[in-house]
Homo-oligomer: A and B are copies of this chain.
């Protein structure tokens, strides 16, 4: 059984997120920028994670995750997302406050705890940001999604997730009235700057820039 330290878990989660987002492999610098840890420190840790066979590491080349590593990463992500659901659903945190706390809670070691928490929350399939929660075997039921700015004129769908989970962005979405689960329809697409106008839940219209729309994921 592979045992990871707190720091190693954080690296593995980061690597998983980067390789999922930007496909196959990730560079030392990417990880460094993402985790705000100097490249030299990252190099050192990659060597260690390579020795533990959770990543595939060849010097000067990018990092790939091994099957073992993916399993462990998904276990951490599962914990993180379940705690996020708990914080929002039960403790009434707003969705922009949960990341930090969940980053700590995700490291608590107790399989029983996670299993019971899952049960207590009613086996949720998605976290408050719309991201899927892996099951205990690491299986993920992801929904086909498309960025909001890529929906055609008069196209409709439902907001299911956000790409950018920064507190600032989430607060902005709250303010304008966009939320996970909202049903939307694209009323106008401005050629000039790519901004769009959408109808939310058939009652409110919102203008948003191309940047904002590009960070909102919709299921059609």
Contacts and interface: CB of A to CB of B under 8 A. Distances in A.
A90 interface: yes
A96 interface: no
A109 interface: yes
A143 interface: no
Please give the count of copies of this chain that the complex contains: 2
A99 to B, nearest CB: 12
Interface stretch (A19-27, A45-53, A56-64, A112-120): A112-120
A5 interface: no
A91 interface: yes
A56 B67 CA distance: 52
- Interface SS majority for chain A: helix
B108 A104 contact: yes
B117 A91 contact: yes
A93 B108 contact: no
B120 A101 contact: no
Contacts of A90: 120
A44 interface: no
B92 A101 contact: no
B91 A116 contact: yes
A97 interface: yes
A140 to B, nearest CB: 24
Interface in A45-100: 87, 90-93, 97, 100
* Residue with the highest number of chain B CB atoms closer than 10 Å, among A90, A100, A113: A113
A110 interface: yes
A101 B91 contact: no
Contacts of A104: 108-110
A187 interface: no
A101 B108 contact: yes
A105 interface: yes
